[in-house]
Amino acid sequence: MNLFLVTTTTASETSNCCLESFQGLPVLELASVCINLTLVLVFLSIVSARQVALCFGRIRLSKENLNGNSASSSQRVLVGEESQSVVIGKTYKASLFCCFYVLLLHVLVLGFDGVGLIKKAAQRKGKSSNWTVIVLPAAQCLAWFVLSFSALYCKYKAVVKFPYLLRIWWVASFVICLCTMYADGRGILAEGLGHLNSHVLVTFAAAPALCFLFYVSFSGVTGIQEFRNSDLREPLLLEEEAGCLKVTPYSEAGLFSLLTLSWLNPLLSIGARKPLELKDIPLLAPKDRSKTNYKLLNTNWEKLKAENPLTQPSLAWAILKSFWKEAACNAIFAGVNTLVSYVGPYLISYFVDYLGGKETFPHEGYILAGIFFGSKLLETLTTRQWYLGVDILGMHVRSALTAMVYRKGLRLSSSARQSRTSGEVVNYMAVDVQRIGDYSWYLHDIWMLPLQIILALAILYKNVGIASVATLIATIISIVATVPLARIQEDYQDRLMAAKDDRMRRTSECLRNMRILKLQAWEDRYRVKLEEMRNVEFKYLRKALYSQAFITFIFWSSPIFVSVVTFGTSILLGAQLTAGSVLSALATFRILQEPLRNFPDLVSMMAQTKVSLDRIAGFLNEEELQEDATITLPRGISDVSIEIKDGEFCWDSSSLVSTLSGIQIKVGRGMRVAVCGVVGSGKSSFLSCILGEIPKVAGEVRICGSAAYVPQSAWIQSGTIEENILFGSPMDKAKYKSVIHACSLKKDFELFSHGDQTIIGDRGINLSGGQKQRVQLARALYQNADIYLLDDPFSAVDAHTGSELFKEYILTALSGKTVVFVTHQVEFLPAADLILVLKEGRVIQAGIYEELLQAGTDFNTLVSAHHEAIEAMDFANQAFEESEKLDPLDRPVLMCKKCDSAGSNITGMAKDVQEGLSASDRKALKEKKKAKRARKKQLVQEEERERGRVSMKVYLSYMAAAYKGLLIPLIIIAQTLFQVLQIASNWWMAWANPQTTGDSPKTSSMMLLGVYMALAFGSSWFIFIRAVLVATFGLAAAQKLFMKMLRTVFRAPMSFFDSTPSGRILNRVSVDQSVVDLDIPFRLGGFASTTIQLLGIVGVMTQVTWQILLLVVPMAVACLWMQKYYMASSRELVRIVSIQKSPVIHLFTESIAGAATIRGFGQEKRFMKRNLYLLDCFTRPFFCSLSAIEWLCLRMEMLSTFVFAFCMVLLVSFPHGSIDPSMAGLAVTYGLNLNARLSRWILSFCKLENKIVSIERIHQYCEIPSEAPAVIDNLRPQSSWPQTGTIELIDLKVRYKESLPVVLHGVSCVFPGGKKIGIVGRTGSGKSTMIQALFRLIEPAGGRIIIDNIDISKIGLHDLRSRLGIIPQDPTLFEGTIRGNLDPLEEHSDQEIWQALDKSQLGEIVRQKEHKLDTPVLENGDNWSVGQRQLVSLGRALLKQARILVLDEATASVDTATDNLIQKIIRTEFQDCTVCTIAHRIPTVIDSDLVLVLSDGKVAEFDTPARLIDDKSSMFLKLVSEYSSRSNGMLDF
């Protein structure tokens, strides 16, 4: 009862005191306070009402959507999403400046008055102070804070007029200001300068600004103009998925939402309910999109290039000019954060003094606790804004640079492309751009480090006096000591990147050419080469990681070293240390530890970023294609379509001999021009010079109208067939149908399971050679260009399809167009209006067919070679007699019954789908097809990703990857011992020193210092052990995972490569492997260390105030719940980010490969748009992923700040003397670090889980099912096998995939040993499939293949493939030398290689080269013509000397003369071998011993050519007559 009375009395006294104080205030000040506070309350109530209305509006809208009005709502969204550009006028800028200016004045007054009040209170020692002095500035500060940010908010809402409340407020403020000025003026007149005080000065200083705002409030116009512009959104909307048309709430978020990151709540709540998909993630705001940032950076880069064309401009300067505003905004947050973080260490000594009983003013403990809490809260808010801003800045730089690198890749000249391989350029995009973006984290450290050191020295000077000079010296020594280490680190990084580039280039090449590697049984050799390259990379990786470990040790030790030097100096100088000053110093060292520890990262990051900037700047400065190489005139301006005057062109600028010279040609509109000549005569280069692809040395090239280009090696994009044909043009059904008809693609589409919606695999892998070529032709025709440049378009198709194409495509569809076509088919030449004959880069003959024939010379040679081939088809009797000589016993086997479907006239077949179904089968299937179509699987599937939590199995597999996980416990023990010794050393310093200045110390100075040094340096040694163990563990695990993945990928069946775009595999061996190499071990180590540190902090705080456990336990539960809630979304976001990265890289590799085609069609802009769209698809989840981390950290830190505040209040509330002040001080010192450690712990766990996704992805590729074993030891054939080379096919059935139909239907036949077998059939009849089955690239679904009495499915793949020879359809050369390409296994002498080259007609060409057998071969063999590449393939076969040789369209890319020559060489060199030849040119197979005719995947006929020709109903006869009539009639269409 008494207590109650006392309390009541105290309360009434306090209220009376308050009233008296307020009554003492001047009337004007009181009025000002009341008006401002009333308006603040009105403002808050309006904002609250709006939020409630908005909430109800959302509920109503969601109900409408549920009732089925979703369509209309999506329309509303679309209308709202029109892009807008906002122009901000001078009026608005001036108004905003005035508001913030007045706010600043009032903040200064509040600070000045507050400090004065505290000083007075300290002097009066317990007497009450007149605190009403600060009421007016506090009310004004609050009011102008609201006013300033309301005015700022107008900009984001793009409002035309300021809100009424704002204008009324400004008027009221101006009126009060006038009245106050009048009263103050009278006061100054009466009292003189004695009347002046802070309030009077502020009133006069604010008057001009308030006058301007008073003027603005009458019109209320903001000066903000908004221009709606729907064009900017257009390209994105075309490709955007439905359901994701809403822009991120971040762009519209209010101040509170931005501070607390609550704009992210809707996305996280979706993520908590279900796994997120890309369509759930909102679009970026226009200012964050790749297009905006790319344009900004590109403009500044071009300006810098223009300013000084002779020197290489600085890319770093261009980036800074483009994004300086964002960087400056971040700098403000970073600066405030740094200042606030030193408040705690500064005040700790006062706090310890207070707990020791020294109270300088009333309620000092609570005021100190309040300041501690306020500074921690402000630190938390600014940290999150700073980090998010830095992440967004990095994201902008990354997307802008990626777009610039992509655009440059499309424009590179041929010489620049030769110096930069696609693997290197992919690395620029995957690694260097990433690194430059990441540097944004370290951007402010350069100026913050000195600021932090100055602040720390100031606090230390207050605590330890002159000894702080020693601190400065020790700090400088710490920093300087790392500079040489950082240099070494940079050198290792450089070499590591170069080694990675080499490995990526070779990996990319192997993946592209995996089919050849498997056919030739070379995959083990190339895998070993890759492993060797990885070992070189690993050597530098090891050095980089161990030097990193040493730097880590130095920097964990540097704060210990600095503290020992400081305390040692202080003790030696005889200064009196107290517990308070020691704890304040320790807290300062701990803050200083962060920038010092970050310094080596900063130095190494600066080094790495400089390397990456130089690499990208060098690439961006590479030579581009000559702008003036071709002059393009508008359509219809001239009757001359193509004109070349005195043209001289050369691929290699350093070469003395031009590729093309003396080119003089005029092509009229509508002319058909044929270009012919022997292999390597410069035919493809001739087309390149018209396109402007080949560097022009002299002369002039003009074209009139648009061009379309069909290259010799087909370039097909991943995507549907329809997308490939449309190639960015809108769909026109009638035109599309006529194009399909002209390119004979209708039948092919009928046989594809998804028609023209079939997805084509990487580089058109699931189309036959002929189909690829016809899709290319269709693409060109659909573009409706004026000029068509076709590079040998008929080589890959059979005779019938070729004639059909020529008639329908060139003569009909392109009648009236200008057509320039390169061809080896002499029979098409009479239809040309002009024939150009090239030899050694010169046009040696030009004219029409008859003229050239009469002129004789080279053209005659080409034509007569063709005639020879045709005459070979008019059989002499010898061919028949030879067939009679066959063993009579063999005849029944050879004479196979003709199949029913022999006559079916099918033009094209899908390689991997319903190949070869007879007409009746097809009818039955049509009904089934409709039902099946929905669930039929495409060859290329969406990239797979795991869902839900990262499995514990992934963590365990990684931990067990190195030394069976034995290092993990050692790492944890080392870290724990470090933490224990650290706490012990701090405790010792706090305990052993006196509490206050007068007390006596508990030990001698030397004892104090000796124990401290022993504990401190002992702890740093454990850090060194931990760093070395982590590096050792990381290296072993990374190497093991890489080797496992590489071996699994190389052992994967061919079907895996057919259905997996190489971008996906490259992404894993570059980006994911980099994460495993450099990131994950340190993330694991970091997570372990942060966990142990956190436990240490909680332990120390609990030791002093056990009551804190009451809060720590619920806080831990809340943290874990939030972390779980966050991880549900974050994990999926990171997986989506990983998957969205692949298409960017894939489009890039694809575009670089087809750059000539893209430029030929003038489609650079469309591909650039596509790249920007894919970048935004990547950036959307990436941005949300970054924001989600900050969302979580903010909430965690808020919780820990409240726990810390609770601890402070407890300590203040305990009666004096009940706790040891030094121990309480130690708890506060550690508590100051609690929020930073907690967020670091959560962050390190989340980042670890996000990065561990890379291991999960690598793990997926370690689990790919393997093809059959390479060698089966107990079933190895003899070294001489096969001796005779007899091949028996017994009821062979083949399908490409379980889910796809059978392609070969029970093929049975015998190829006798040593005979020449011709295999013919329409395009896609199953010829190549049969060869793949022979090499076991596809395992048979039924039946057997027996070679010399051995079932090939029973022996190892290496034993089989190494004994067979093949010259494939697509000739492939590997980067390296001619020797390496002919004999990669290094089994033959130089003499044997020269013999093979001579026989394959390349000897002379190679001898003319400077390096002979070591003549370089560029990536893809780009410096050799397609025909020459085919001859190298022949050279390989000659070296291998296998008993069975397969020629798969081997001579499709060479002229008839060379073809005849190759056939002659094969007849002589392989006379005792079994030679299986697939060919479309009938002369190639006509002199075979036996001919196999395939149709619909079945054997139609199998007999000697003579017998088949005698049979008037034979299918072979039909093919022969088609070819000879086409040739003899010389196309008399």
pLDDT digits (tens, 9 = 90+) for 954-996: 788 888 888 888 888 898 899 899 888 988 887 887 777 766 6
Where do we find the tokens 């190895």?
A: 1276
Q: Are the beta carbons of 742 and 813 closer than 8 angstroms?
A: yes
Predicted model pTM: 0.64
What pLDDT sits at residue 1373? 84
Structure token pair of residue 193: 């300068």
Q: Are the beta carbons of 1037 and 990 closer than 8 angstroms?
A: no
What pLDDT sits at residue 942? 56
Structure token pair of residue 569: 């100096």
Q: How far apart are CA 1369 and CA 1371, in angstroms?
A: 6
Could you give the C-alpha distances from 556 to 65, 892, 979, in angstroms and in order? 58, 87, 12
Burial label for 763, CB within 10 Å (0-12, 13-18, 19+), is: buried
Where do we find the tokens 């589409």?
A: 749
What pLDDT sits at residue 126? 54
Under DSSP, the state recorded for 220 is: -
Query: What number of other Cβ atoms are within 10 A of residue 1040's Cβ?
Result: 15
**By C-alpha distance, which of 804, 776, 406 is closest to 620?**
406
Query: What number of other Cβ atoms are within 10 A of residue 919's Cβ?
Result: 11
Burial label for 788, CB within 10 Å (0-12, 13-18, 19+), is: buried
Could you give the C-alpha distances from 780 to 448, 680, 729, 731, 814, in angstroms and in order? 59, 25, 11, 14, 11
Phi and psi, residue 1489, nearest 5°: -70, -40
Structure token pair of residue 195: 């009347």
What pLDDT sits at residue 69? 40
Angle between helical axes of 579-620 and 445-464 (0-180°, round to 10): 170
Q: How far apart are CA 81 and CA 95, in angstroms?
A: 29
Residue 1289 CA, distance from chain mean position: 48
Q: Which amino acid is at 1317?
A: I
Strands 707-710 and 787-791: parallel
β-bridge partners, 666: 643
Q: Are the beta carbons of 1500 and 1518 closer than 8 angstroms?
A: no
Structure token pair of residue 1306: 């029970």
Q: How far apart are CA 347 and CA 509, in angstroms?
A: 63
What pLDDT sits at residue 1? 41
What pLDDT sits at residue 423? 72
Could you give the C-alpha distances from 956 to 531, 972, 1037, 1090, 1493, in angstroms and in order? 25, 16, 12, 20, 57
Structure token pair of residue 1377: 């030398």
Q: Are the beta carbons of 1455 and 824 closer than 8 angstroms?
A: yes
One-character DSSP codes across 135-147: HHHHHHHHHHHHH
Where do we find the tokens 């008006």?
A: 35
Q: Which amino acid is at 876?
A: A
Q: How far apart are CA 1280 and CA 1183, in angstroms?
A: 63
Strand order in the sheet with 696-704: 631-633, 696-704, 640-649, 660-668
Q: How far apart are CA 1143 and CA 67, in angstroms?
A: 38
Q: Which residues contact 49 (CB under 8 A, 6 or more apart)?
A: none
Q: How far apart are CA 1093 and CA 1086, in angstroms?
A: 10
Buried b (16+ CB within 10 A) or exposed e, 932-954: eeeeeebbbeebebbeeebeeeb
What pLDDT sits at residue 1328? 80
Q: What share of the chain is helix, strand, coil (3-state, %, to 5)?
A: 65, 10, 25
Strand order in the sheet with 1444-1448: 1364-1367, 1444-1448, 1474-1478, 1316-1320, 1490-1495, 1498-1503
Structure token pair of residue 244: 């994701």
What pLDDT sits at residue 858? 67
Where the chain has pLDDT below 50, the residues are 1-22, 58-83, 229-243, 875-936, 1530-1533
Beta strands in 1264-1381 (DSSP E): 1287-1295, 1302-1311, 1316-1320, 1342-1347, 1350-1351, 1364-1367, 1376-1377
Under DSSP, the state recorded for 622 is: S
